[in-house]
Structure formats: structure tokens, C-alpha cells
Chains A and B, each alone.
Chain A
Amino acid sequence: MKKPWELKYFRWADVIILLIIVVALFIGVQLAYHAPKSFAKETISLNIKYIPYYAGKSLLRMGAAYFLSMIFSLIYGYAAARNKTAEKVLLPIIDVLQSVPILSFLPVVVLSLAVILPQSVAAELASIVLIFTSQVWNLTFSWYQSLTTIPTELNEACNVFHLSPWMKFKKLELPFGFVSLIWNSIMSWAGGWFFLMAAEIFTVGQKQFQLIGLGSYLQAAANTGNLHAMFAGIFTLVLIIILLDQFVWRPFLTWAKKFNLQTVSGPEAAANSWFYWVLRKSNIIDRFNKRFFFPIIEKFDERFVKTFPFRPEQTVAKKSSSVKIYIGVAILGIALIYGLHHTIVYLFHLSWADWWLIAKSAFFSLLRVFAALALSMLWTIPVGVAIGSNQRLATFMQPLVQITASIPATALFPILILFLLHLPFGLNIAAIVLMMLGSQWYLLFNIIAGVNTIPQDLRYTASLMQLKKWSYWKNLILPALFPFLITGAITASGGAWNASIVAEYVSFNNRNYFTTGLGSLIAQSTAEGNYTMLLASTLTMVVIVTVINRLLWRRLYNVAKEKFTMQ
């Protein structure tokens, strides 16, 4: 069955693979060589030659957190999708958890870990947990959604043909959810970078925790005002993001095309990776696959199938299996009530003045979030529509926008602060700009996707009717974009709230700049070790975000889905 060109031992693709291996080895050696000699008490050096080492450590942290997120998502999604009773409990839990401001997790996690572990280990773990919480929710939702939207007949086919759980996962569930898992992984990594920058160096009360990594490097550079080092750090970060995009995500997306159920012409269909084709065409990889990779997979499969065989009776829903869950819920409920009681007692320590401060801060942050959303829409709608309706502009702009969007705003904050602080009202207004940085991209991407769904026929009709500019927007573009605008705005407002913690309270050049706001309050109370205040302000933010989600965004989303969806 071999075609003649396959018989050649060496192809150009093999040369590229070899070069990549050589470069990877070189980088590894360099990292080892440049690593500081003693690991005892590390301090950040602004010397540029250490950057690769720092970047490597940050990357490892991100990788570990991502790995954990993936495992968590797979298990949690399964549990929620498989059991109706569990679903009722598990879904609302992550729905609320994802509106908890991630940065206020940090002190709680660090301090509790520091009790049982050495400080450095605790800090390391805490940063991983923090990054984990920024990556995990959308992955879990995506996996759960995939599992629940698998066509019934495909599920039944698996049961009729007695596929073991492992095979069902491999042949049906994973392929079905793959594309959406990859897209969400890309989003998760972007979110992870954002918080990594803030998770590597922080002060809790009297204690200063510092980890070695790119984030703390940038922070240190900003604190000493070393512009040279700052640019080098940001450059490295952008480079890593581009490399990941080219060598990990794009190849995966290209490969994942075969898992697409329909022939979609969305962004996923356009994904095409040169590296993927190099891998496919290389004989070295091919041999490696046939000699080692595939046999290992085969063995692995056999093992799994034997350990978890198909059990015919399990596919029929049992009637009494929810008893265990009720017990679980009951235990959880009791624990919750106990915790709630203590929380309330704790919160009584706050004075009226404190609550007034929280209310005032919440109001200002709310204004800022909406201002950031409005300003983002102001520029993303025209730009998104322009990119979306012009194929040529799209091919040129899409990758550029994607790269720009994946640069974490937190990395840019210090530089921007340099300029923004000189604006009238200082950080008060600057915070809005910083919050936009953390949220506008969601809007832009959704708008571009939305424009793509407008049927060409409708555009033709509109131009045949010679609609005036405003009438064209009012009757076609804006209604068609509405659902996408809402979807984007939901994510963007979440992003803006989260960003408020880093945007309203900034350390720069060994000085703290802050303004009135809920985010600032959270950041300040973290720094001062004022846990009562931290708890109260975090809870306030959770409540506000959840309430706005339920009362505003959900409703708008339902309206959008029913009335403005193209069919």
C-alpha cells in the first residue's frame, strides 16, 4: 500500500523535525547552564540571560495547572453529565465559582498551605492553584456541554456494540468534544497568563511571597523602573505565546478538523498549520509512531478495556442510584451551614463605616465595568464588522488580533501605568483602560464570528433595497450581532471584574497607586492582611457578579437566542 514517495528515507519534513530536535536540546542545555547555582534563596535578577530560565519555570507552572484543570474538567463534566441528580448540584456550583474573583483566592490558599508546608512550596502550590482556577471553568463547561449534546443514537450505538467506557471515551466522547476542548484550552491559557503575572509575587499581610518566574521578573523590572528589562520580559512572553500557538494549538486545531461534525466554515475550518503537515510528512515521526507510539497506545487500550469492561446493566439507568448523592448533598449542606454561621459571625466584626466603604467601592467598580464594556463595544463593533465582512482583511488581521489578544494585559500594566498615571484623574480613569485590556477581546472575537453568520443573501437584499447606512445597521447588522454581542459581553464583564483587582491597585516603582473600587479594596486588604475586609469585599463581588449575570445577562441571552438567531 506504500506510495513511491513514502519509500524515500528522508524528506524535507525530516530535516525540519531534526532541526527542531537540535534547537530544543540546545535550549535545554542552555537552561541548565544558566540556572542559578544555588536554589536555596532565590531572588530575581534582572539580567536578561536568566529570562529563559524564568520563562521555563512559569511555563511549567502553567503546564501543571493546565494538566490539573484538564483532569478536573473531565471528571467533573462526566459526573455532571451522567447523573441527573448530580447535575442539579454540580452545575450551579461551578456557575457561582466562576464568578468568584480569582485573585482573592490567593491569600486563603497560600496561608492555609503555609501552615502545613514550607513557605516556598506553599507559594508554588498556591500559584498553581490560582492559575488552575483561572483555567478550569470554561474547560469544564465545554466538556459537560459536549457530553450532553452527543446525538442519542451514537450513544446507543456504543451500548449496542458493547464499547467499554474507555473505548467510548476514545472513540466517541473525546472526538466529539475535542474541537471545543482545544478552543477552550487556548482561552484557558490566555486566562492563565493573565493571572500568572499576578500570582508569582504577592504580599499577604506581613509576609512577602515570591516565586521565580517571568511574572515576578516583569514585576521586579516594573518596580525598579527598568524599561530595558521590561521590554525584554514582554518580548519573551509574546515569543512563548507565538511558539505555543504555532507548535501546539494550531497543529491540534488542524488535526481536529476531522472531528468536526459538519463542514463548518468558521475559524476552526480555516485553521491550517504548517507544523502539522511537517509532522504528517516526516518519516522519522512516522517510524516513531509505528514502532513505539501506536504499539504503546494499543497496549494501553487493552489494559484499560480489561480494567473497565463493558457492563450491560450499567447502561440502563438505575432507579435508586441517587441515594448516595443525597447523602453527599446532605453532608455538604451541613458543612455549608456550619461555615455560613461562622462567616456571618466573622463579618459582624466589620463596622458600618466598613460596609459603607464596600458599598461605595462596589458602586464605583460597577460604573467602571460598564464603562469598560461600553468603550470596548464602541471600538470592537465597527472593527469587528469590518474584519468579519472583508475576507481579505480577515486573513490578514485574524492572526494578528489573536496574538495581540493573547498577550496578558497584566504584563502590559506596568508600562501603561507609566503613561496613564499622567492622565487627569489618574488611576481612577486609567483603571477603566486596564479593565478594557482584560475584556475587550472577548467582544471582538464574538463580533467577528457573528458577522460571519449573516447570510450573503441578506446582504445582497439589503444592498438591492439601497438601505441607508443607519438603516442597514439597524435592520441587519445590529440584530444579527445581538446574540454574539451578549455572549461576548457576558465573558467580557467577567473579565473586567477580575481585572479590577489588578487594575484598581497597582504597585509601580516601589509605590502603590490605588483608587476607590471593589477590586482595589480586595487587593488592599490582601496586602494589609485584613481578612475580614477581604472576605466581605470578595463576597460582595461574588454576589454582584452572580446577580448581574442572572438578572441582566441571562435574560438578554435568552431574548437573543429566541428572537435574533439566524436560522
Chain B
Amino acid sequence: MANNKTLLELSDITQMYVTRQHRFTALKHINLNIKEGDFVALLGPSGCGKSTLLRIITGLQQATFGKVIYKDKELVGVNQNATIVFQSFALFPWLTVLDNVEVALEAKSFPKKMRTTKALDLLDRVGLDGFESAYPRELSGGMRQKVGFARAMAVDPELLCLDEPFSALDVLSAESLRSDLLELWIEGKIPCKAVLLVTHNIEEAVTLADRILVMEKDPGRIVKEIKIDMKHPREYDSPTFKRYMDEIYETLAGKTRPRYIEAGAAPGQGGGTRLLPNIKVNTLATFIEHLVETKLPSYELYKLEEELSVDSEQIINFTEATELLGLATVDQGEITLTPAGIEFAGADIQKRKEIFASIIRELPTFKWMLQQLNKSERKRLKKDVILTALELEFPEKEAAEQVDNIINLGRYAELIAYDDNNEMIYLESPQSVLELLDEA
């Protein structure tokens, strides 16, 4: 397949967003090419811009800088030869399964008779014969996505783009649909020349793709390209498969940096504020407990996926959170608990809160906020004050999420209290609690 023609090429794609205060780079200097016969996966954590990249590739969106070249021509507008299978299926709820597929053909001005024949054939191929007259709401998620696949194939696309197509499905449906897709692709029953899969699920990417482009966020960029040299069907348990999983985890989880870099700076000081993770402290505790139970000094991340039955994205989230909080360190795809982490796992609820409080008190963002609170009259601050400070560095939506995370973690640690009615953050103390209750 090495000599195949190039189908699509991205040259130096950069995507920027401009808000009132700042410019944010969503995608930075993306270069990639897809050849005929390729099954490529774009893999990365949420927020790394992989879906945006897909929309740029299909022409639904225009990049701020850079070119999309499709078959030696620069792409203008929607790519006529590409199609998308959507995460949310994007079926018309008021059309039957058959009509949903026919719409795509109708748009290509097929006459009515041919439309029906072709649509029926496609539905047959994905195994939906007998469900032609059903409405999407009558079908399970997996079956709905099959309609999505049939519709995408109806237009004889050259480039089939899959936008997290299995993410909205339950584990078993996703599994079965993946193998169906693979079968159709390997046997050449999918009429397209290349497939581009966007996913955050490491195992999924290794199972399906021949080439994985690993992306990282802030700013969204491609950090590694991995060729998967394995025959189908790929065994999860095989050493090669595990080696690939390990390699990707290594790339995505990175290596824990020295404390002062890992913790980042406070808002307004140079050096970039580190975002606090959106995690539930209780589930994080379960994650750490599990690590303690293995009784190993360090543990390979990719194994956790199966043991905790969560997907790779959550593992990465947990890992990053433990790194930031200094509960664990990561190196070469392996996680090691720090003494603080081990102590945390063994403590009871109240003690955990104390450990947690002592840790986040030292995080620059929290330090900064607690200082502001201490300086303020009556030891309280409007939520907006924190928000405005963060908006100088992050897009509005991210800043708002970040404030929620800060409040959430601070409440758990009993460092701060928050009153949603007047959107006020208080320094937690016995008086402030009484005051709060008084006002409510």
C-alpha cells in the first residue's frame, strides 16, 4: 500500500479563536496526509481539537491558516467526496430508516426507483434488512449507527470520516459494530478509498487503524505518528497489541515534570496557569486505592483500562490529576504512587480531606485565590472576580469550567464555601458557615 496515491493533504493548518481579551490557538501547525487504502486514526484527549480538524478536513469549517489539498486541488467549501458518520448519529428522527438513507441519494438527484433499490441494498449490507420502515427512535444505539454507516456509504464517498462513532454506544454494541466495520472494510465492501477515524479511545484506535496520529491539547497538535503493523483480527492479549497500547499511553501520559512546573503558575503570573482537573475526588480515591492494592511499586497504565473497566480517556484524566496533586508520578507509561498518595489511600474520610486540603492549598491557583479571599473585606469574593482573572488566560467556556472545578475541589477540601444565590465564594470557617446559613 506504500505506493498508493495521496488522497488528502493538510499543510500547516492552524485554527485560532479570538475572544475579547485573547487569541487562542485551537490547532497549531497540523501537517498530515492520507493515502488511498489508509485507515488512519486521530487519537487524543477531549479538547485537543480533533473534531475541529475533522470539520476542516471535510470542509465544514475553514481553517484560519493553512491549506487542505484534496487530490492535488485546494479544497474550497464542503468536500464533495467525503462523508461523515457522526457521534450522535445525526439521523432525521421523523424519517424512516429507508428514507434516512434515501435522503443522501436524493441529494445526488438519483431517480426515485434507483434510490430505493440502492438504499435497500446498503441496509442489507449493514444487516438492517427488515428494519426499513422503522423510525430511528425504535432502534437501539448500535442499529442507529448502522443506519449512519449505510447513509454515509450511500454517496460512494472516497474518504469516509468517522467522528467518534462508537462513543455514544454501550460497550458491547460498540465492540460488535467495530468488528462489523472492520469486516466490511477488509473485505472491500465499503466503497471508499480511505477511512479517517477520530477517537479518544486508545484501544479502539489500535484495534482498527493502520496508522495512529496522537494529538495533544493546549494547543492542539500532532505529537506522534505510530504505524500499527499487525494483521487483522488483532488480539487484545497479544504482546504486540500491548506494546502499542503502552507506547501510546507513554506518549499521552507523558513524564511527570519537576513540581514547580507540574503545578504551574497562579493566574496573572507569567508561565501559564495549570488547569485543575474536572474529577470527583471520591472516584480518584478509588483509582489510587486500586493502585495500592496491586502492591507493585509501579504499574502500567494500559492495564488499568481493563481492570477498572473505564476507557483510556478517564485513565489519562485520573493520571493527570494524581500528577498535579503530587499523589503519583508517571514515567514511560507507568504510574508510581508517592508517599502522599499511599497515605491518602490508607486514610479515612476526614483524614483524606485534610491531606487533600494540605495539597491543594499549595497549588498556585488556590494559593492565589486564598490570598485574595484573606485580603478581602469579610473574607469573601464574587465568583466573577476569579472568572475574570482566568478569562485573561483561557477561553470563556474553559474559564467557567475551571471556576466550577476550583469551587468543587475547594468545597471538598473544606477550604472554601460557596453560595450559588449571590455567586459568592467564602473562606471556610465556622463563622462563615453560620453567616451563609443566616443569609439563606
A residues contacting B by CB (< 8 A) are: 151, 153-154, 156-157, 159-164, 167, 171-172, 175, 258-259, 261, 263, 298, 305, 310-317, 563
A253 to chain B, nearest CB (A): 14
A-B contact pairs, 7 of them (CB 8 A): A157-B86, A162-B107, A163-B103, A167-B107, A312-B78, A313-B76, A316-B59
B55 to chain A, nearest CB (A): 7
Which A-B residue pairs are the 4 nearest by beta carbons?
Answer: A312-B77, A313-B77, A312-B78, A157-B90
Asked if A305 contacts B109 (CB within 8 A), the reply is yes
Contacts of A261 in B (CB 8 A): 93
Q: How many angstroms from the CA of A561 to the CA of B55 in the assembled complex?
A: 33
Given contacts A159-B60, A175-B94, A313-B77, 8 further A-B contacts (CB under 8 A): A153-B87, A154-B92, A161-B83, A162-B108, A312-B80, A313-B76, A313-B78, A315-B60
Contacts of A167 in B (CB 8 A): 103, 106-107
Task: Tell whether B104 is near chain A: CB-to-CB under 8 Å.
Answer: yes
Task: Tell whether B82 is near chain A: CB-to-CB under 8 Å.
Answer: yes
Contacts of B151 in A (CB 8 A): 161
Residue interface bits B79-122, CB-to-A below 8 A is 1, else 0? 11011101110101111000000011011110010000000000
Contacts of B103 in A (CB 8 A): 161, 163, 167, 171
Contacts of A263 in B (CB 8 A): 137
Asked if B78 contacts A175 (CB within 8 A), the reply is no
Contacts of A314 in B (CB 8 A): 77
Task: Tell whether B202 is near chain A: CB-to-CB under 8 Å.
Answer: no
Contacts of A153 in B (CB 8 A): 86-88, 90
B51 to chain A, nearest CB (A): 10
Which residue of B is nearest A160, CB measured?
A: B84
Q: How many angstroms from the CA of A163 to the CA of B83 in the assembled complex?
A: 13
* A162-B107, A162-B108, A171-B92 known; A156 vs B55 contact (CB < 8 Å): yes
Task: Tell whether B58 is near chain A: CB-to-CB under 8 Å.
Answer: yes
Q: How many angstroms from the CA of A259 to the CA of B103 in the assembled complex?
A: 16
Asked if B84 contacts A156 (CB within 8 A), the reply is yes
Contacts of B87 in A (CB 8 A): 153
Q: How many angstroms from the CA of A441 to the CA of B80 in the assembled complex?
A: 52
Which residue of B is nearest A257, CB measured?
A: B94
Contacts of B86 in A (CB 8 A): 153, 156-157
Q: How many angstroms from the CA of A258 to the CA of B99 in the assembled complex?
A: 14
B386 to chain A, nearest CB (A): 19
Q: How many angstroms from the CA of A259 to the CA of B108 in the assembled complex?
A: 25
Which residue of A is nearest B157, CB measured?
A: A160
A13 to chain B, nearest CB (A): 22
Contacts of B131 in A (CB 8 A): none
Asked if A175 contacts B62 (CB within 8 A), the reply is no
Task: Tell whether B135 is near chain A: CB-to-CB under 8 Å.
Answer: yes
Q: Which of B62, B92, B137, B421 contacts A172 (CB 8 A)?
A: B92
B82 to chain A, nearest CB (A): 7
Asked if A164 contacts B60 (CB within 8 A), the reply is no
Between A156, A157, A311, the greatest number of chain B beta carbons within 10 A of the residue's beta carbon is seen for A157
Q: How many angstroms from the CA of A157 to the CA of B92 in the assembled complex?
A: 10
Interface of B is mostly: loop
Q: How many angstroms from the CA of A416 to the CA of B271 in the assembled complex?
A: 76
Asked if A161 contacts B104 (CB within 8 A), the reply is yes
Asked if A315 contacts B80 (CB within 8 A), the reply is no
Task: Tell whether B155 is near chain A: CB-to-CB under 8 Å.
Answer: yes
Contacts of A159 in B (CB 8 A): 60, 78
Asked if B84 contacts A316 (CB within 8 A), the reply is no
Q: How many angstroms from the CA of A298 to the CA of B102 in the assembled complex?
A: 14
A127 to chain B, nearest CB (A): 37
Q: Which of B59, B83, B109, B155 contacts A312 (CB 8 A)?
A: B59
Asked if B94 contacts A259 (CB within 8 A), the reply is yes
Q: How many angstroms from the CA of A167 to the CA of B108 in the assembled complex?
A: 11
Asked if A160 contacts B78 (CB within 8 A), the reply is yes
Q: How many angstroms from the CA of A416 to the CA of B237 in the assembled complex?
A: 85
Task: Tell whether B61 is near chain A: CB-to-CB under 8 Å.
Answer: yes
Residue interface bits B399-440, CB-to-A below 8 A is 1, else 0? 000000000000000000000010000000000000000000
Contacts of A154 in B (CB 8 A): 90, 92
Q: How many residues of B contact A (CB 8 A)?
A: 34
Q: Which of A164, A258, A311 contacts B107 (CB 8 A)?
A: A164
Asked if B78 contacts A162 (CB within 8 A), the reply is yes
A309 to chain B, nearest CB (A): 9
Residue interface bits B120-154, CB-to-A below 8 A is 1, else 0? 00000000000000010100000000000001000
Contacts of B137 in A (CB 8 A): 263
Asked if A316 contacts B61 (CB within 8 A), the reply is yes
Contacts of B55 in A (CB 8 A): 156
Asked if A316 contacts B78 (CB within 8 A), the reply is yes
Asked if A151 contacts B88 (CB within 8 A), the reply is yes
Contacts of B108 in A (CB 8 A): 162
Contacts of A312 in B (CB 8 A): 59, 76-80
Which residue of B is nearest A309, CB measured?
A: B109
Asked if A160 contacts B93 (CB within 8 A), the reply is no
Asked if B88 contacts A310 (CB within 8 A), the reply is no
Contacts of A156 in B (CB 8 A): 55, 60, 84, 86, 90
Contacts of A161 in B (CB 8 A): 83, 103-104, 107, 151, 155
Q: How many angstroms from the CA of A563 to the CA of B135 in the assembled complex?
A: 37
Asked if A157 contacts B77 (CB within 8 A), the reply is no
Q: How many angstroms from the CA of A160 to the CA of B76 in the assembled complex?
A: 14
Which residue of B is nearest A157, CB measured?
A: B90
Contacts of B59 in A (CB 8 A): 312, 315-316
Contacts of B90 in A (CB 8 A): 151, 153-154, 156-157
Asked if A175 contacts B92 (CB within 8 A), the reply is yes
Which residue of A is nearest B96, CB measured?
A: A258
Q: In residues 171-185 of chain B, which contact A (Cβ within 8 Å)?
A: none
B421 to chain A, nearest CB (A): 8
* A156-B60, A258-B135, A316-B62 known; A162 vs B94 contact (CB < 8 Å): no
* A157-B84, A172-B92 known; A316 vs B107 contact (CB < 8 Å): no
Contacts of A311 in B (CB 8 A): 77
Between B61, B88, B94, B104, the greatest number of chain A beta carbons within 10 A of the residue's beta carbon is seen for B94
Q: In residues 307-330 of chain B, which contact A (Cβ within 8 Å)?
A: none
Q: How many angstroms from the CA of A157 to the CA of B58 in the assembled complex?
A: 11
Asked if A315 contacts B77 (CB within 8 A), the reply is yes
* A157-B84, A160-B84 known; A316 vs B92 contact (CB < 8 Å): no
A169 to chain B, nearest CB (A): 13
Q: Which of A160, A163, A172, A310 contacts B60 (CB 8 A)?
A: A160
Between B59, B78, B155, the greatest number of chain A beta carbons within 10 A of the residue's beta carbon is seen for B78
B267 to chain A, nearest CB (A): 26
Between A164, A171, A310, A563, the greatest number of chain B beta carbons within 10 A of the residue's beta carbon is seen for A171
Asked if B92 contacts A163 (CB within 8 A), the reply is no
Contacts of A315 in B (CB 8 A): 59-60, 77-78
Contacts of B60 in A (CB 8 A): 156, 159-160, 315-316
Which residue of B is nearest A319, CB measured?
A: B62
Between B60, B104, B108, B421, the greatest number of chain A beta carbons within 10 A of the residue's beta carbon is seen for B60
Q: In residues 13-64 of chain B, which contact A (Cβ within 8 Å)?
A: 55, 58-62
Asked if B107 contacts A310 (CB within 8 A), the reply is yes
Contacts of B78 in A (CB 8 A): 159-160, 162, 312-313, 315-316
Contacts of B76 in A (CB 8 A): 312-313
Q: How many angstroms from the CA of A258 to the CA of B109 in the assembled complex?
A: 26
Which residue of A is nearest B86, CB measured?
A: A153
Asked if A162 contacts B92 (CB within 8 A), the reply is no
Asked if A163 contacts B107 (CB within 8 A), the reply is yes
Contacts of B79 in A (CB 8 A): 312
Which residue of B is nearest A306, CB measured?
A: B109
Which residue of A is nearest B82, CB measured?
A: A160
Q: How many angstroms from the CA of A543 to the CA of B332 in the assembled complex?
A: 68
Contacts of A316 in B (CB 8 A): 59-62, 77-78
Which residue of A is nearest B106, CB measured?
A: A167
B162 to chain A, nearest CB (A): 12
Q: How many angstroms from the CA of A87 to the CA of B83 in the assembled complex?
A: 31
Contacts of A172 in B (CB 8 A): 92
Contacts of A151 in B (CB 8 A): 88, 90
Q: How many angstroms from the CA of A371 to the CA of B403 in the assembled complex?
A: 44
A181 to chain B, nearest CB (A): 14
